[in-house]
Amino acid sequence: MSQKEENGPADTDNPGGVPRDQPDHHAGLWSTLVQRADDLTGTVGADHDDASARSALVAFLRGDVLAHLESEERVLYEAVREAGAHSLVDALELDHRCLLNLVEQIEKADTVMEAALSSRALVVLFALRMEKEDTIILPTLREAGVDVSALLDRMIVRMATDYDSHFTYF
Name the residue range of residue 32's domain. Answer: 18-166
Tell me whether residue 2 is in a domain.
no
What are the Cα distances from residue 92, in Å, to 11, 29, 119, 129, 139? Answer: 28, 18, 19, 8, 15
Tell me whether residue 10 is in a domain.
no
- Structural domain total, the chain: 1
- The region of weakest confidence among 19-28, 68-77, 96-105, 116-125 is 19-28
* Helix intervals (H) in 11-147: 22-41, 51-60, 66-71, 77-82, 86-108, 112-132, 138-143
The pLDDT value recorded for residue 93 is 94
Which pLDDT tens digit goes with each residue over 33-72?
A: 999 999 999 999 876 667 899 999 999 999 989 988 888 8
- The region of weakest confidence among 17-21, 26-30, 56-60, 149-153 is 17-21
Tell me whether residue 130 is in a domain.
yes
Tell me whether residue 6 is in a domain.
no
For the chain, what percent of residues have pLDDT higher than 90?
Answer: 56
- The region of weakest confidence among 23-32, 54-63, 76-85 is 23-32
Name the average pLDDT for the chain: 81
The pLDDT value recorded for residue 136 is 93
Tell me whether residue 5 is in a domain.
no
- The domain that contains 111 carries what CATH number? 1.20.120
Tell me whether residue 12 is in a domain.
no
Tell me whether residue 4 is in a domain.
no
What are the Cα distances from residue 112, in Å, to 50, 59, 94, 120, 139? Answer: 6, 16, 26, 12, 40
Tell me whether residue 94 is in a domain.
yes
